[in-house]
Structure 1
Amino acid sequence: MMQQRWKKRPDGSNWGDFGPDDQLGRLNLITRDKVLQGLAEAKEGIPFCLSLPLDYPGGSGLNPRRKPPVLRPTLRPNAVNFNVALNTEEEGATDVVCDDLVLLHLQYSTQWDALSHVGSLFDADGDGVPEKVFYNGFRGGIDIVGPDSIADAGAPAGADWRKGTSNAGALGIQNYAVHCVQGRAAMVDLHAHLGNERTYVGYDILMRILEEDGVEVETGDMVCLHTGFAEVVLGMNRNPDEKTLHSACAVLDGRDTKLLNWISDSGLSALIADNYAVEGLPSKPGGAGCCASMPLHEHCLFKNGIPLGELWHLTPLAGWLRERGRYRFLLTAPPLRLPGAVGSPATPVATV
């Protein structure tokens, strides 16, 4: 066991509650019993793919730093390794081979945020000087490191991929993968009540919808918010209108303290949406220089170790559940087991 990394923890956080070395956060609440509860919801044996095609939304209108994936063949000696007939290399061989690679921005499409994705400047040492710190006191530049030079970052043509490595030595996405992220999930159908209008959903709106739909969130449940945004993105066929990307469908109001308290008190283990960022960006004003620009990310990832899932494709599942008066299902959603990554694509599967 390592020595505790902090002398004080942020207000409203759960640092240390799962142990001083914990890197799973609220995924610890997905116990064996929660997995069994999820399995009990798989009554019809019908699976739903909850991932968008990973080349959606198209372009870089949602985030200028994230680009669509690029697929390229690998190389054989002096040849492209695609549709290669091996009889050119081995007499009598009948094999035809294709092999490829991908340049993939890990948080471009359907994704998980790792707990190393967003931290905060916070005085964890209690010495009056804020440090770059992440969930449970892990430190930027010590536990979570990356290159200092812009020449060693990004994806320029001809880049030397042996250089510029970043590595979340702690809180990397591989922790989710080893856990498996499988258990019971609850669908909250915001779209059925709010349509495609841009609505900042705070505690009062959310509680009204939960009550009207009879949705109960219990400790360890993963919560999925259906806003309809992914369906809007699909309808734009990889050529999205940037204004629509930033003005369509419901988002959570990260400035609503009552909503953040509910997220803590509900015991949910992960928070997932079919929109970009789960919360509204830009967030509502919080006062000049007052606080995090992404308050829900701060509350979930930094303070409480709650994984965030973004840009999932929830509409077909939400419709199926609503037609049958159901809202719970088995969710299986591991990310890539990619050590050190701060986010990952996912191909989540719901089974009803």
Structure 2
Amino acid sequence: MGDGSGADAPPDNGPAVSRAEFDRLFAAVRAWDRWPDPERGAWNLVGPRHVLAAAALVRSGVVVPLARPWSTAPAPDNHRPALHHMTELGDVEAPEPTGHKDFIAIDYHGKAVSHLDALAHIAYQGRLFGGPTAREMIDATGARYGSVDRLGPLVTRGVLLDLPVVRGVDWLEPGQAVHAGDVLAAEAALGLRIGEGDAVLLRSGHLRRRATLGPWDPSAASAGFHVDAVPLLAERGIALLGGDGDSDVRPSPVAGVHSPVHALAIAAMGVPLLDNLDLERLSGACGAAGRYEFLLVVSPLNVPGATGSPLTPVAVL
């Protein structure tokens, strides 16, 4: 089944990119000296005027949460399931009212949990965004640079690149790449233009495919951006990148680099990533509203030293 339409041709994640070509691309989009506060990276771009402009997009008051439910069940795309245990029940004599408590834990960096990658999450050639070495800044106690608590919340304009809608298919097949030309075509088809401070969300139809055909291992094959799309996103000045996968097309088109979009966005551009979102309801809401832009609220947990955070982003139309 090819891109949800019944075609038999295998997905194309090319063209292949050499390591030398990738290094030149990394240097071209690198923004290490751009902001006085490098630990917030591209979130420095978003100021009060961006928040006010995003707030003006709220017209119907429709609120759409974008997180997948936590799963405690193992699956091909959930190798480290969440833990959820009750620690206090209302089944013993106690002063009223009774209390009920639970314990939750998650190794959230993976393919099953909706989460944010902070700047401490990725280093390329040993260096984090801005230049500090990962060896120096990250140890068993956590990250001393680029941790998620340095980011705080983000309120900005979100745009949905709904590729299945643009192409008239149910989903993109795992391994299918989204190129710069695809981004431009999506802008034209959806009536939007990516701008400074925007959060760009890519819908590939991942969860629709999963619900129809069952889970698979996205580490081996997933739809996502090819590295040739990144210079366009850098030129537009985006503040956040995310999707219903983890933004990278897999298998990687870059020899020796398993997550090249992660490296370019986080380590070069200072752009945090949102991984494993549920964009199905948002796709329907945007289609019903006839617009693919909205107010987006992203509020990671305030965990000092953490390399990211599970979270529930919220879109408001």
TM over 0.5: yes
Of 191, 195, 209, 1:232 maps to 209
**Cα distance in 1 between the residues matched to 2:34 and 2:218:** 41
Of 155, 166, 179, 1:182 maps to 155
CA RMSD of aligned residues (A): 2.2
1:227-248 Cα deviation digits (max 9, x unpaired): 1113334557xxx432688556
State percent identity of aligned pairs: 23
**Cα distance in 1 between the residues matched to 2:218 and 2:134:** 35
Question: Which protein shows a greater Rg?
Answer: 1
1:83 maps to: 90
- Mapping 1:214-229, distance limit 5 Å: 214-229=191-206
Structure 1 residue 221, shift from structure 2 partner = 1.1
2:146 maps to: 171
Structure 1 residue 212, shift from structure 2 partner = 2.1
Conservation of the 8 A alpha-carbon contact between 2:148 and 2:307: yes
Of 68, 85, 94, 1:52 maps to 68
User: What residue identity is the alignment partner of 1:209?
Assistant: A
1:11-68 Cα deviation digits (max 9, x unpaired): 430001102x520111111111111111111111121111110218x5252364xx11
Of 264, 269, 274, 1:299 maps to 264
TM-score calculated relative to the size of structure 1 = 0.75
**Cα distance in 2 between the residues matched to 1:103 and 1:14:** 35
Of 235, 241, 245, 2:215 maps to 241
1:259-309 Cα deviation digits (max 9, x unpaired): 12101101111011011x21112212x34x5xx321111110000100111
User: What residue identity is the alignment partner of 2:147?
Assistant: G
Of 260, 264, 270, 2:240 maps to 270
Which segments of structure 1 move beyond 4 Å, counting only runs of 4 or more? Answer: 243-248
Of 109, 113, 116, 1:109 maps to 113
**Cα distance in 2 between the residues matched to 1:133 and 1:168:** 13
Q: Indicate how the Cα distance of structure 1 residues 349 and 38 shifts in structure 2: closer, same or farther if over 3 A, else same.
A: same
Structure 1 residue 253, shift from structure 2 partner = 1.1
Of 203, 210, 213, 2:187 maps to 210
TM-score calculated relative to the size of structure 2 = 0.83
Conservation of the 8 A alpha-carbon contact between 1:135 and 1:301: yes
Conservation of the 8 A alpha-carbon contact between 2:77 and 2:218: no
2:21 maps to: none
Matched, 1:68 2:81: yes
Conservation of the 8 A alpha-carbon contact between 1:223 and 1:268: yes
1:178-212 Cα deviation digits (max 9, x unpaired): 2x111111111112134323221111222122122
Aligned residues: 286
